[in-house]
């Protein structure tokens, strides 16, 4: 009589890929039967306390495209993907029972919403968690830091001096065909999530699809086909066009690409094509991303508190007229207005724009930074909890900024970065 097969689920959350995925790789190598699982929780499309949907249509579309690509890539490995559109509290357990699951493999998270999701894992199930969202692994960083420093520079210098980036993990070998489930789980449509289908705005700088396949194609294009990475430092403050920056952030945000994968391709580019200040600067930006993750890991819920991570008490306004003028792009600053209208029309905005509009909301209008952070969470295709809240704290002067009282002048910023008003004319006169 044959013994029971060891059945495991890989729970995909912010790691929607098959390459450089420790949870998937280890599950395949340690289990007789492997099933993928992704939950699309309807609660993530409801309105929050400030009146925004937690996830708006732009990120929702990118998410559905990413899940569709993941499903195909898993199918190539003879692994089925369960796709469930249900409250997470009611979603996971029935599948665990139905397929007699022994273990769940997943990416390790530490922020509040993700930890609440994990309460849905049945107590008798073995949950194996892996850190996969970093450039430098937490185990290595712990060896050089008891507490993450307030400033980025010290973090960067120590990491560069003492640590190395691990190589990405390969795609696991395919399972046998009999591993596939008899049931094929459909992907919800935008209509199912409460949105109308829409076409990407013709002026959008982000006209890319979600998913690992599209993400890898973008890396290949930005590095090897166009070699645009070689001028990244000169163009990164651009405002128009798809190539002023890498645009990798959206795939990084939902884990369709890993930071290690991009870094590995960057090293390949430096070895085979060119190594210069611009290629270093792209690494520099990946390291900023790591930094905010470590800051959020250290400070936990202070990362979301009104007074910031160091408890700097401030009086914040929640005046509706100020908030509406900012959201609608109707402030006295045309540069701020253009950026806000790009965001509402496309779900994307340049890094230069983000710094300006966040600084303006918190330093000029003195509006509660959490309102801006939640609005960005709703709209941005590349929303990442750590980078989003870390940058908002930074701009509000209650985070990791060594110059917390720094205040941008949007008029001067426009003159410097949009001297011919091409950007403002695109979004204000379109």
In tens, the pLDDT along 137-187 reads: 999 999 999 899 988 999 999 999 999 999 999 999 999 999 999 999 999
Q: Which residue has the higher pLDDT, 331 or 401?
A: 331
pLDDT in tens, 56-108: 999 999 999 999 999 999 999 999 999 999 999 999 999 999 999 999 999 99
- CA–CA dist 141, 342 (Å, integer): 38
Residue 430 pLDDT: 66
Place of tokens 């369960």: 82
Closest CA relative to residue 114, chosen from 231, 202, 14: 14
423, 311: one domain: yes
Contacts of 293 (CB under 8 A, 6+ apart): 133, 134, 386
Give yes or no: residues 150 and 5 share one domain. Answer: no
Q: Does residue 388 lie in a domain region?
A: yes
254 and 272 assigned to the same domain: yes
Residue 176 domain-assigned (yes or no): no
Whether 6 and 55 share a structural domain: yes
Mean pLDDT of 377-397: 96
Given a contact cutoff of 8 angstroms between Cβ atoms, the answer to whether 210 and 254 are in contact is: yes
pLDDT, mean of residues 413-424? 97
Here the CATH number for the domain that contains residue 50 is 3.40.50.620
The set of residues, in sequence order, having a beta carbon less than 8 Å from that of 104 and lying 6+ positions away, is: 8, 9, 10, 11, 96, 121, 125, 126, 127, 128
Are 98 and 117 found together in one domain?
Answer: yes
Identify the domain boundary among 245, 269, 299: 299
Angstrom distances, CA of residue 271 to CA of 215, 231, 372? 22, 16, 41
Domain-located, residue 199? no
Query: What is the reported pLDDT for 332?
Result: 98
Which residues are registered as beta bridge partners of 283?
A: none
Q: Which residues is 66 bridged to in the sheet? A: none
Same domain, yes or no: 231 and 273: yes
How many domains are there within the chain? 3
The verdict on 355 and 382 lying in the same domain is yes
Residue 178 is predicted with a pLDDT of: 96
Q: Between helices 152-162 and 277-299, what is the axis angle to 10°?
A: 110
In a domain, residue 186? The reply is no
Q: What confidence score (pLDDT) does residue 207 get?
A: 95
379: containing domain: 305-428
330 near 429, Cβ under 8 Å? no
Q: Are residues 157 and 292 in the same domain?
A: yes
Question: Are residues 346 and 387 part of one domain?
Answer: yes
Give the pLDDT confidence of 274-307 residue by residue, as tens digits: 999 999 999 999 999 999 999 999 999 999 999 9
Is pLDDT above 70 for 131? yes
The string over 355-383, giving b where at least 16 C-beta atoms fall within 10 Å of a residue's C-beta and e elsewhere, is: bbbbbbbbbbbebbbbbbbbbbbbbbbbb
């Amino acid at each position: 009589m044959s013994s029971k097969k060891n059945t495991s689920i890989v729970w995909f959350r912010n790691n929607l890929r098959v390459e450089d995925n420790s949870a998937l790789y280890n599950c395949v190598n340690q289990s007789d039967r492997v099933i993928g699982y992704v939950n699309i929780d309807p609660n993530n499309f409801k309105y929050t306390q400030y009146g925004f949907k937690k996830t708006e249509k732009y990120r929702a579309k990118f998410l559905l495209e990413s899940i569709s690509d993941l499903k195909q890539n898993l199918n190539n490995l003879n692994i089925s993907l369960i796709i469930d559109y249900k409250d997470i509290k009611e979603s996971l357990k029935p599948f665990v029972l139905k397929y007699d699951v022994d273990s769940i493999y997943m990416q390790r998270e530490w922020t509040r919403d993700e930890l609440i999701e994990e309460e849905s894992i049945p107590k008798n199930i073995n949950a194996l968690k892996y850190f996969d969202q970093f450039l430098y692994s937490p185990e290595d960083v712990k060896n050089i830091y008891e507490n993450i420093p307030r400033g980025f520079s010290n973090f960067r210098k120590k990491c560069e001096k003492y640590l190395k980036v691990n190589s990405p993990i390969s795609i696991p070998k395919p399972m046998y065909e009999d591993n596939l489930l008899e049931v094929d789980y459909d992907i919800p449509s935008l209509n199912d999530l409460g949105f109308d289908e829409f076409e990407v705005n013709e002026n959008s700088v982000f006209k890319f699809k979600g998913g690992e396949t599209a993400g890898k194609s973008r890396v290949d294009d930005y590095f090897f086909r166009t070699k645009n990475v070689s001028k990244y430092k000169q163009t990164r403050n651009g405002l128009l066009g798809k190539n002023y920056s890498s645009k990798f952030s959206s795939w990084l945000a939902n884990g369709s690409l890993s930071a290690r994968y991009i870094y590995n391709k960057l090293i390949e580019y430096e070895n085979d094509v060119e190594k210069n200040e611009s290629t270093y600067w792209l690494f520099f930006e990946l390291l900023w991303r790591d930094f905010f993750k470590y800051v959020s890991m250290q400070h936990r819920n202070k990362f979301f508190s009104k007074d910031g991570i160091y408890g700097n008490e401030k009086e914040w306004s929640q005046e509706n007229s100020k908030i509406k003028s900012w959201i609608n792009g109707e402030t006295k600053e045309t540069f701020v207005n253009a950026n806000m209208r790009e965001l509402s029309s496309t779900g994307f905005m340049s890094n230069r724009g983000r710094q300006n509009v966040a600084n303006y909301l918190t330093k000029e209008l003195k509006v509660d930074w959490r309102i801006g952070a939640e609005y960005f969470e709703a709209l941005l295709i590349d929303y990442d909890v750590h980078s989003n809240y870390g940058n908002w704290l930074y701009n509000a002067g209650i985070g990791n900024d060594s110059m917390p009282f720094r205040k941008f002048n949007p008029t001067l910023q426009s003159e410097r970065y949009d001297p011919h008003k091409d950007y403002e004319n695109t979004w204000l006169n379109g």
